[in-house]
Chains A and B, each alone.
Chain A
Amino acid sequence: MNKIPIKQSPENAQTGWNLVFVCWILAAVATLGSLFFSEVMGLKPCVLCWYQRIFMYPLVVILLVGMFPLDKGVVRYALPLAVIGWLFAVYHYLLYSGYIPESLQPCDQDASCAKIDLELFGFITIPMLSILSYTAIIALLVMFRNRTNQKQLKLK
């Protein structure tokens, strides 16, 4: 029997929750942003864009569900999606910047994955935004997992 009372730090729990919350904000911003590009600005999403959307949109729902009440297992469900989406984003970025020849891309004639439709301030492209949001989400989720793991170790 462990007689030492386990320190239930509400502060820690709050930080953990905030990490998931920030992930959720990132996913929501990415979702709304991509919808703005396609539905408002009329840029047609290419095939690779669609794959990145497929793995980003569900994060908005999964992370939200995982926050009420805070579910430490949320990483198990969210991280695989984020990692797969990140891989697509990196592939897309390499294609965009010309490291991968265009002939290797799985594109239809309507929207080319290699054609650059939008450049903000001359260098920010849509695949770059995608990589940034996926990377941030992955980093925060890993941080959250490490934090909860440590706590579990202490418990043992």
Chain B
Amino acid sequence: MKKQIQVPIAAALLLVAFAIAVVIYNEQQANKLSETTSKNASLLVRDYSPTMGNEDAKVTIVEFFDPACETCKAFYPFVKRLMASNPGRIKLVLRYAPFHQGSDYVVKLLEAARLQNKFWETLEATYESQPSWAAHHNPQPERLWMLLGGVGLDLKKAKEDMQSPTIVQRIQQDLADAQQLAVTKTPGFFVNGKPLIQFGYEPLQQLVDTEVRNHY
């Protein structure tokens, strides 16, 4: 028999089988994810969740984020651009998913800043300075205090407010909701209750565009 042909054929068959398995598995997972989301749709937004944009917007982006997550940082300006290009039609709801070590500290800080109406400014400063406090092998969220100079927070008050048990409850609630909604990685996006299945800028853009088209 022809050995020279046998090997490439076998290799090709194996790779094709692998590719088919990937497609089937992803399809199944996508269906499961959509099911999980629609079953738990009521958990997507909590009344305390920070929201940006027009209250009456018909397209809602829910983002589970971690302030120490580089991809969340990278997506933040993209989401803002999406909102800017559809003025008044999109609102953004943030949910906390502090999966990284030390991230819950930063979320508490963000909630404290929110009491001073400086949530978004602080979030932006937090993302900006992320490399200096969120190194994976050695996260030092306490360093953030030195890096928030430009925001104009009352730092002393924020430090006190951070201790509030309400904030801890909110974080726990968000983490519990994330688990129910099968969010295991950040950022986790949902647009009008539909999960972002294939991750990336373009899929998110498409999902948002479809929803905008359907509602306006």
A47 at the interface (CB under 8 A from B): no
Whether the Cβ atoms of B3 and A41 lie closer than 8 Å is no
Q: Indicate if the CB atoms of A64 and B22 lie closer than 8 Å.
A: no
Q: Which residues of chain A come closer than 8 Å to B26, judged between CB atoms?
A: 40
Say if the beta carbon of A32 comes within 8 Å of chain B: yes
| CB closest chain-A residue, reference B184 | A42
Please tell me if B11 contacts chain A, counting CB pairs below 8 Å. Answer: yes
**CB proximity of B104 to chain A, nearest CB, Å:** 17
| Residue on B nearest A33 in the bound complex, by CB | B18
CB nearest neighbor in A for B185: A42
Q: Is residue A84 contacting chain B, with contact meaning CB distance below 8 A? A: no
- Decide: A36 and B14 in contact? CB cutoff 8 A: no
Choose, from A21-29, A120-128, A138-146, A148-156, the stretch at the interface.
A21-29
Chain B residues, CB < 8 A from A29? 14
Is B7 an interface position by the 8 A CB rule?
yes
Which A residues are in CB contact (< 8 Å) with B42?
none
CB distance from B199 to the nearest CB of A (A): 12
Q: Give CA–CA (A68, B2) in the complex, Å.
A: 12
- Chain A residues contacting B25 (CB-CB under 8 Å) are 36, 40-41
Footprint of A on B, CB under 8 Å? 1, 3-4, 6-7, 10-11, 14-15, 18, 21-22, 25-26
Cα distance, A40 to B1, chains bound together (Å) = 36
For B18, the chain A residues whose CB sits under 8 A away are 32, 35-36
Q: How far is the CA of A35 from the CA of B22 in the complex (A)?
A: 11
Whether B10 lies near A25 (C-beta < 8 A) is yes
Residues of A within 8 A of B (CB): 14, 17, 21, 24-25, 28-29, 32, 35-36, 40-41, 64, 67-68
The docked-state distance in angstroms from the alpha carbon of A29 to that of B11 is 10
A35 and B21 CA atoms in complex are apart in Å by 12
CB distance from A119 to the nearest CB of B (A): 17
- Please determine whether B7 and A32 come into contact, CB atoms closer than 8 angstroms: no
Indicate if the CB atoms of A67 and B22 lie closer than 8 Å. no
Bound form: Cα–Cα A14–B18 in Å: 28
CA distance A14 to B2 in the complex (A): 10
Give A29's nearest chain B residue, CB to CB: B14
A residues within 8 A CB of B15?
32
Query: Which residues of B have CB within 8 Å of A35?
Result: 18
Across the two chains, which residue of chain A brings its CB closest to B10? A25
Please pick, from B6, B14, B21, B22, the residue contacting A21 in the complex, using a CB distance under 8 A.
B6
